[in-house]
Amino acid sequence: MKKYIEPRRYLVNCSSRSLPHIFTDVLVIGSGAAGLRAAIDAATTCRVIVLTKDDQLAGSTQHAQGGIAVVVGSDDSFEEHISDTLATGQGLSEPDVVRTIITEGPERFRELLEWGAEFDRTAAGDLDFTLEGGHSRPRIVHARGDATGSEIQATLCAAVRDNPNIRIMEHAFAVDLVTDGNLWRGALVHNEEGGVVLSWARATILATGGCGMLFRETTNPAAVTGDGYAMAYRAGAELQDMEFIQFHPTTLYVAGASRALISESVRGEGGKLRNDLGERFMQHYHPDAELAPRDVVSRAIITEMKRTQATNVLLDVTHMPPGAFAERFPTIYSICRDFDIDVTTSFIPVRPSAHYMVGGVKVDTQGRTSIDRLFAAGEVASTGLHGANRLASNSLLEALVIGHNAGRMAAAHAASNQEPVVRHAIIDDFQPERPGTLIVADVTNSLRALMWRYVGIERNSEDLAAAERAVDSWCSYVMAREFDTPEGWQLQDMLTLAKVITVSARRRTETRGVHCREDFPKISEQWQHHSSIRRKEDKRR
């Protein structure tokens, strides 16, 4: 990777400028399900600070519609869930990791119930399970129909607010991790007053979520810009499987409107996909038709759009009795109604969008990264659970399990490391080379359009090379400028991540799971392994 894709880097040194300092035992960066779950566990023995770049409800967890895939039904089994996960992962899911997360999942789910989370139940009072693509049986628990993420977030936020050992810092943007040689020490943080502070801790947990905003078409909220991956990369952590980005098959497509997720559960309840001619088509692509894995459905939709020269396909839920759709999917029903779509008589226009980063910062089942004192959990982390393609609703399960484990492990590390948290000074070794005004929003929008066009659902060598050249060109002048706002730092993070993803996608010369190479359309035995990428040492130091 070229040297100039590295944005500013902050190193511990005893002779530098003075900044305000804050101290804690465990620092958690991110306030979604994984971050809050980690904070709760770390706070049993430690002081914890949780940083969130927006407010507590701005991340992806709040918007999760589907649910949690968890074995708590009497007719379900760990072995079936494990088998479904391994099959969807297409040879790259780690069996031991899969078993650990799936078998630990029920306990994490029961804890949510103990903390007051309410999940949908049948008339008899039993949990109401639904079916999603890739699952052999209904095992998805959901809340308020399609508001599962909101219920989980509210439950965890309440538990955090009641904990005196946890401090939440909202509108606090983590600019970079601070390192001293190969040791992690803390983070440089831009706060809501516009100042910069140094946050020192004995252990840090990255829980910054995904990178959906790197693509023009996305289901992700605006805050999801991949900052955690970029920070970990710059700190020298190993990143794994960064070419594997899951595109959700069905997002509402109305020209000029922001994209809205149409949950997998809609097809689980019998929704049918039709092309622009009104014809069903999924049965021609997979024996499970609309309930095929997401990568299959996304590529089938793209193929049908090309064949019919249409901008979208159609999701048909008119089979559902009047009122049933609104009761089961109140959020989706409300969104459709806002655009004058009567789901009882009309089809919903949908198309794929970037949804979930399958790869991430490499961790074990305890959330440990390749850097001492640095942990990661949630979408920013790559445990090996998902392999080449995430099974629907496994992500919230993973966030709860790995968040719990990372929180406990970080707390244990902090307790065993009783050396004083020293007030270090820092030096900024970055020297801006290009003074002057840069329209950050214009470069950001251009980057998102480029990534969607060339590094999206279908990829090939020519497009990936073109994307890499463009990113290199933008890096050459964006990275050479000094920024003092989160928007500028976000752009630097997005450019770093775009380079990492594009290089990883170009290297994997096969089609597997969510990574589709038009020029290498088959699975290759030579690629029956994870990919890995990490930052090379800067020779200036």
Active site residues: 294
Judge residue 99's burial from the number of C-beta atoms within 10 Å of its C-beta, 0-12 exposed, 13-18 middle, 19 or more buried.
Answer: middle
Q: Which residues of 52-70 are buried (b: 16+ CB within 10 A; e: fewer)?
A: bbbebbbbbbbbbbbbbbb
Structural tokens at position 207? 């829980």
Q: Please tell me the distance from the alpha carbon of residue 399 to that of residue 56, in angstroms, as a whole number.
A: 16
Q: Please tell me the distance from the alpha carbon of residue 49 to that of residue 189, in angstroms, as a whole number.
A: 12
Q: Please tell me the distance from the alpha carbon of residue 430 to that of residue 480, in angstroms, as a whole number.
A: 9
Structural tokens at position 428? 């900024």
Per DSSP (E only), the strands in 191-335 are: 196-200, 203-206, 239-240, 245-252, 260-261, 272-274, 313-316
> Sign of dihedral through CA atoms 55, 56, 59, 62?
negative
The per-residue DSSP string of 145-214 comes to TT-HHHHHHHHHHHHHHT-TTEEEE-S-EEEEEEEETTEEEEEEEE-TTS-EEEEE-SEEEE-----GGG
Q: State which amino acid sits at residue 492.
A: Q
Judge residue 318's burial from the number of C-beta atoms within 10 Å of its C-beta, 0-12 exposed, 13-18 middle, 19 or more buried.
Answer: middle
Helices (H), 323-459: 324-328, 330-338, 394-416, 440-454
Q: Please tell me the distance from the alpha carbon of residue 33 to that of residue 59, in angstroms, as a whole number.
A: 9
- For the chain, give me the number of helices (H) and strands (E)? 13, 25
